[in-house]
Amino acid sequence: MPNPSSDRAIAIVGVGAILPDALNAPAFWQNIVNKRYCISETPADRWSIADYYDPDPAAPDKTYSKIGGWVQGFQFDWKKYRIPPRVAAAMDEGQQWAVTIADEALADYGYPNRPLDTERTGVILGTAMGGELHYITQNRIIFPEFAHE
């Protein structure tokens, strides 16, 4: 009799990553091995400290922290993925990361030189603070509602 759990078995066969101070999985692993601290002050081009920072943790609509883990130096290679320039320009950074990370994971597996059973293959992504372009677009759409106040 076959093992009932054998149909549900999974294997992680490739990994990809874009993280603070690590634009790929091997760089992330090296940061771990080297015990590298990858938290830094908020970059000036990320968001305005003056708009969001207050040292008082009870201040409404503010943060009392000026540090975080920031992905810096990422350049999306839209030509590699044959994405038209206008589409690439409209992509959120989180979408660009997802395409790049999935490609890295597939390459780590050995694709396209190694066969891939697409019926039994999935890509699992995790993100924090992704989709920021969505919020900017949403704010542009609803701005007129608030402009009348």
For residue 27, give its domain range: 14-142
Q: What is the pLDDT of residue 108?
A: 97
Q: Model-level pTM greater than 0.85?
A: no
The reply to whether 88 falls in a domain is yes
Provide φ and ψ at 67, rounded to 5°. -120, 160
Other beta carbons within 10 Å of 100:
21
Count each helix (H run) and each strand (E run) in the chain, helices first.
5, 2
pLDDT of 14-48, one tens digit each? 999 999 999 999 999 999 999 999 999 999 888 88
Torsion, Cα of 129, 131, 133, 136 (10° steps): -70
Residue 9, in any domain of the structure = no
Q: Does 93 reside within a domain?
A: yes
Look at residue 129 and tell me whether its pLDDT is greater than 70: no
6 located within any domain: no
CATH number of the domain bearing residue 64: 3.40.47.10
How confident is the model over 57-116, as pLDDT tens digits? Answer: 999 888 899 999 999 999 999 999 999 999 999 998 889 999 999 999 999 999 999 999
